Amino acid sequence: MAANLLDHDLDGLAAFCEQLGEKRFRATQLFRWIHQKGASDFDQMSDLAKSLREKLARTAEVRPLPVLTEQASTDGTIKWLFDVGAGNAVEAVFIPEDDRGTLCVSSQAGCAVGCRFCSTGHQGFSRNLSTGEILAQLWYAEHHLRTRLKLAPGERAITNVVMMGMGEPLQNYAALVPALRVMLDDHGYGLSRRRVTVSTSGVVPFMERLREDCPVALAVSLHAPTDPLRDELVPLNRKYPIAELLDSCKRYLEAAPRDFITFEYCMLDGVNDSEDQARELVALLRGRVSCKLNLIPFNPFPASGLKCSPRARVQAFAKVLMDAGIVTTVRKTRGDDIDAACGQLAGEVQDRTNVQQRLTRQPIRIHATTGGSRQETR
Ligand code: SAH
Ligand code: SF4
């Protein structure tokens, strides 16, 4: 099969060009055609020698992902479902705001972490996406939107990327890092490290490696103030418990482009949303890791058996954190009418594990919190 040029960062593309007997600088021209101009037809690449264009046509391609569906929300959010073969699909979501355009990108078909409140987690894991499949989401969205939004030449549609679609990006590290490099490259999408965010459920060894290899902004999905509860919600916590995770966050800050870690906290009715738990969170975080809290209203889906916290409880929880001096935001849900909100990115991933059964049958054990008396709830 022809090589997919979306699989390479600039160094990789240079190595590919050298294999074809071409000078490395040709790779820069090619890279700019692909990522900055959205070209996939080598004949369009007018400043490349005809002989090189012919060689490329014989050996390589810029392989897009077929778009299965596109849904546009009344609030401007657009969700695409991409076919990644063998009955699997992944989603990307464009979220326009006044001062930015954010693309939420998927890293895997399904996810092996199996968080209780996540519909991707309920589907089980199918496979890792390649670098080319991760970048094809950005490549398509950027160039499609430039035309659709009638942007002036040189204007960008996507100013920020968040790896918050389907999958755990740090469990697909080898494909993730070259994709991040293309996002950051001045000859690629030219995004600053602050504008590219990797969101992780806490894969500590790869947080350590990301700090060395490509320290972009980091969001960590915390969701609970104590290990027993986090063990239930984010099973990976049994391997990398909270203390280890926070130590790793602290080390990450030495290289991070921002001076804080964003902790995501999905608000689940009667599970992790009491004021006592907010106080436990304050005790856990204050003075330990420089951070911001992002409270995410839970987006329910039937198989979860969970409910979203009432608004007033979210506000009360946020107030405890803010009164303690922790910067806290409540995430606006976007694209509600098209199921584009966090954790609703279902795709059509085939379930190849028994994770669905495992997740829906077990009750969540709520361990007593300081001053709290609830032991078990569902
Ligand atoms: N695997 C990574 C990134 C993808 S999930 C991670 O877990 O961080 C992106 C964010 O959406 C995470 O914070 C996740 O906890 C949150 N999320 C998942 N399911 C959700 C749901 N049903 N409602 C609200 N947020 C959800
Ligand atoms: Fe995977 Fe993230 Fe969903 Fe957890 S929340 S199952 S890590 S995608």
Task: State the helix-helix crossing angle for 311-323 and 275-285, rounded to 10 degrees.
Answer: 30
Q: What is the pLDDT along the chain (378 residues), one digit of tens a residue?
A: 899 999 999 999 999 999 999 998 999 999 999 999 999 999 999 999 999 999 999 999 999 999 999 999 999 999 999 999 999 999 999 999 999 999 999 999 999 999 999 999 999 999 999 999 999 999 999 999 999 999 998 899 999 999 999 999 999 999 999 999 999 999 999 999 999 999 999 999 999 999 999 999 999 999 999 999 999 999 999 999 999 999 999 999 999 999 999 999 999 999 999 999 999 999 999 999 999 999 999 999 999 999 999 999 999 999 999 999 999 999 987 887 887 766 555 554 444 444 444 454 355 554 433 333 323 222
Contact 100, 43 (CB under 8 A): no
Q: Residue 223: exposed, middle, or buried by beta-carbon count in 10 A (0-12, 13-18, 19+)?
A: buried
Cα(343) to ligand 1 centroid in Å equals: 5
The yes-or-no answer on residue 91 being catalytic is yes
Cα(166) to ligand 2 centroid in Å equals: 7
264 pocket-lining for ligand 1 (C-beta < 6 Å): yes
Strand segments (E) across the chain: 3-4, 60-61, 67-72, 78-85, 88-97, 100-104, 108-110, 125-128, 160-163, 196-200, 217-221, 261-267, 291-297, 327-330
Cα(35) to ligand 1 centroid in Å equals: 28
118 pocket-lining for ligand 2 (C-beta < 6 Å): yes
pLDDT in the model for residue 372? 32
133 pocket-lining for ligand 2 (C-beta < 6 Å): no
Residue from 93, 108, 164 whose mutation best tests the ligand 1 pocket (most atoms within 8 A of CB): 164
Strands 67-72 and 78-85: antiparallel
- Amino acid identity at 283: A
Q: In angstroms, rounded to a whole number, what is the distance separating the alpha carbons of residues 53 and 62? A: 13
Q: Whose CA is nearest to atom 15 of ligand 1?
A: 221
Q: What angle do CA 89, 216, 77 make, to 5 degrees?
A: 45
338 pocket-lining for ligand 1 (C-beta < 6 Å): no
Q: What is the CA radius of gyration of the chain?
A: 22
Half-sphere exposure of 107 (CA within 13 A, CB side): 24
pLDDT in the model for residue 348? 44
Q: What is the DSSP letter of 124?
A: -
Cα(85) to ligand 1 centroid in Å equals: 24
Q: Residue 46: exposed, middle, or buried by beta-carbon count in 10 A (0-12, 13-18, 19+)?
A: exposed
108 pocket-lining for ligand 1 (C-beta < 6 Å): no
Contact 352, 126 (CB under 8 A): yes
Cα(118) to ligand 1 centroid in Å equals: 6
The CA–CA distances, whole Å, from 106 to 55, 161, 165, 172, 342 equal 32, 11, 4, 11, 12
Query: What sign results for the dihedral spanned by CA atoms 339, 345, 350, 356?
Result: negative
Which of ligand 2's atoms lies nearest the C-alpha of 122?
6
Q: Whose CA is nearest to atom 12 of ligand 1?
A: 221
91 pocket-lining for ligand 1 (C-beta < 6 Å): no
Cα 376–chain centre separation: 32
**Catalytic-labelled residue, pool 91, 133, 142, 264:** 91
Cα(197) to ligand 2 centroid in Å equals: 15
**Which pTM value belongs to this model?**
0.92
Task: State the helix-helix crossing angle for 242-253 and 275-285, rounded to 10 degrees.
Answer: 50
Backbone phi, then psi, for 237, in 5-degree steps? -60, -25
Element (H, E) at 151: none
Q: Which ligand is nearest to the CA of 223?
A: 1
pLDDT in the model for residue 337? 80
Q: In angstroms, rounded to a whole number, what is the distance separating the alpha carbons of residues 38 and 6? A: 11
Q: Whose CA is nearest to atom 6 of ligand 2?
A: 121
Secondary structure (3-state) at 4: strand
164 pocket-lining for ligand 1 (C-beta < 6 Å): yes
339 pocket-lining for ligand 1 (C-beta < 6 Å): no
In this structure, the number of other CB atoms found within 10 A of the CB of residue 1 comes to: 5
The yes-or-no answer on residue 342 being catalytic is yes
